[in-house]
């Protein structure tokens, strides 16, 4: 078995999908997990990107169906998490409006992130390095602070934290991992980026969101493809078992090999 075949099998990606069937399967998965965990619903951070928009659609359908079936209220809480002023925050609100989210909250992470970064810089100074944090390092604090706020809200409201991580991100290790605070459940995990776009079109994600370049919003101008050096088309082709440019294949397999620790449970002895 080639490494490509091994990866596809491990991540559970299909060569093609039926979007309607995928929605049904993933909504049922969410419903079962909420019921089994005896929680009151789901929390999803709405970034304004396509992955979180699809997750919102799945979560809202799941909790609406549970409410109707169980005779008690289950909620999907949508959380907006800008760092100061977010230029595309209107896309996040458009997603919430599209899927009729009645429960939303905003947790602006700027002050908390800046305070942590300042403390880190104090620590660096004591080590003889009088400098600011790198923009990549501060970007990672943003990701982690968002998870801190999500889990604080989820704890108070007895909700599960939903991750938007999918197979195209797992392939490269570019997703919410243990060091970031992890998540409770990942309903998109066996879909690649192309398939998520297919599901997004099926559920009616706003066009402004469909047209955006994928980004984690970690620093100004950051894009996933620019940071990883490989396109999501090549990434998706690879996960569908197709032959791709040898250089792109080398990059993807290199990422996969060196990020195994991010996909595995925390090692012990």
Measured between alpha carbons, how far is 90 from 98 in angstroms, rounded to an integer? 12
Q: Which of 22, 91, 169, 237 is catalytic?
A: 169
Residue 225's contacts (CB-CB under 8 Å, 6 or more residues apart) are 213, 214, 231, 232
Query: Catalytic: 51?
Result: yes
Query: Catalytic: 22?
Result: no
Task: Give me 210's structure tokens.
Answer: 């469909």
C-alpha radius of gyration, the chain, whole number:
19
List the end-to-end C-alpha distance of the chain, in Å, as a whole number. 30
Q: Which of 43, 24, 263, 64 is nearest to 165 (CA)?
A: 263
Q: Which of 51, 91, 224, 234 is catalytic?
A: 51
Measured between alpha carbons, how far is 239 from 17 in angstroms, rounded to an integer? 13
Q: Which of 121, 117, 108, 109 is nearest to 138 (CA)?
A: 117
Residues taking part in catalysis: 51, 169
């Amino acid at each position: 078995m080639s490494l490509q075949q091994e990866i596809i099998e491990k991540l559970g990606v299909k060569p093609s999908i039926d979007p309607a069937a995928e929605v049904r399967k993933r909504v049922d998965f969410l419903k079962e997990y909420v019921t089994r965990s005896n929680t009151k619903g789901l929390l999803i951070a709405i970034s304004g990107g396509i992955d979180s928009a699809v997750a919102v659609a799945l979560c809202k359908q799941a909790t609406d169906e549970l409410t109707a079936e169980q005779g008690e209220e289950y909620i999907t809480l949508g959380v907006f998490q800008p760092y100061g002023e977010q230029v595309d925050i209107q896309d996040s609100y458009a997603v919430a409006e599209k899927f009729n989210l009645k429960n939303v909250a905003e947790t602006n992470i700027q002050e908390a992130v800046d305070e942590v970064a300042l403390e880190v810089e104090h620590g660096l100074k004591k080590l003889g390095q009088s400098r600011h944090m790198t923009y990549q390092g501060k970007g990672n604090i943003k990701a982690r602070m968002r998870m801190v706020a999500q889990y604080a809200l989820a704890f108070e409201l007895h909700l599960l934290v939903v991750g938007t991580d999918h197979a195209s991100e797992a392939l490269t290790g570019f997703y919410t991992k243990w060091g970031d605070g992890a998540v409770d459940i990942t309903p998109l995990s066996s879909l690649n980026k192309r398939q998520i776009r297919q599901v997004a079109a099926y559920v009616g994600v706003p066009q402004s969101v469909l047209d955006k370049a994928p980004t984690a919003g970690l620093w100004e101008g950051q894009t996933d493809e620019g940071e990883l050096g490989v396109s999501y088309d090549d990434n998706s082709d690879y996960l569908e078992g197709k032959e791709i440019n040898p250089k792109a294949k080398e990059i993807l397999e290199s990422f996969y090999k060196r990020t195994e620790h991010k996909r595995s449970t925390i090692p012990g002895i």
